[in-house]
Chain A
C-alpha cells in the first residue's frame, strides 16, 4: 500500500510501480491528519484484515540550516508533527492490524542527524525531530516485544532526493536498501535498533 499526501502524485507513482510481480495499491494519506490515518486503517481492515509492515518514511526538512539558537519554535513544532508525532500516531492507530500479523514490523526512517552520539549544530528542528523519533522507536520496541512486533529506526545516509539535494553522496536505491532489509529480511528478534547500511549503529 503506497501512500502519499498528494493524490495525483501517489496515483502516478503507484501506476509506475504496478507490474506483473507486485501489487501496488495507492491510498491517499496525510500523516498529520488523524481522520486520514483512520480512513487508511479502515481501508486496510476491510481489504486485508491485517498489516505486516509499516514503513514510516514521510518526513520534512524545512528552514534547513537554522541552528538551535535561531530556529523558530513554529518550525520545530511543524517538523515534530510530521517527523515524530505522525509515526507515533500511525503506530498507535495501526497497531490492532499489526497485531494480526504473524510477524509485524515497523520501520522508522530516521537519520544520523538525530543520533545523540554524533550530535552537531545546525538543522536543529530536523535533528530534534529525528532524535525524538529514535526515542519513539525504542519505546515502541520495548512495549511491542511481547506481541512479537519488531520496531527499528534507520539512517539512509545522505541521499539524492528532493530533501537531500543533488550533491548527496548516495542514490535512492542505496538509501532504500536497508529499509527493505528491515521490512522483509531481518530476524524477527532484531528490534529496538538503529541501523545504517544493514549494521546496528549507536543511538
Chain B
C-alpha cells in the first residue's frame, strides 16, 4: 500500500483556512 508520503500534491492557498487544514490532514488519511 502506498503511504501518503508517496503522493506528490500541490495545494494552493495553503497558508490558512481550509488549505492549511487539508494539508495537515494529509498525515492521517490512509490511501486505498
Contacts and interface: CB of A to CB of B under 8 A. Distances in A.
A104 B5 CA distance: 15
A90 B12 contact: yes
A13 B11 CA distance: 12
Contacts of A51: 8-10
A21 B4 CA distance: 9
Nearest to B19: A57
Contacts, number: 135
Nearest to A22: B27
Nearest to A48: B8
A110 to B, nearest CB: 12
A130 to B, nearest CB: 14
Interface of A: 1-6, 9-10, 12-13, 16-17, 19, 21-24, 29, 31, 40, 44, 48, 50-59, 86, 90, 94, 101, 109, 156, 159, 161-164, 172-173, 175-177, 179-181, 183-185, 187
30 contacts: A1-B9, A2-B19, A4-B15, A6-B15, A9-B16, A10-B14, A13-B23, A16-B20, A17-B23, A22-B5, A22-B27, A24-B23, A51-B9, A52-B8, A55-B11, A57-B11, A57-B14, A58-B12, A58-B13, A161-B18, A162-B16, A172-B17, A173-B25, A175-B17, A176-B22, A176-B25, A177-B25, A179-B18, A180-B29, A184-B7
Interface of B: 4-5, 7-27, 29-32
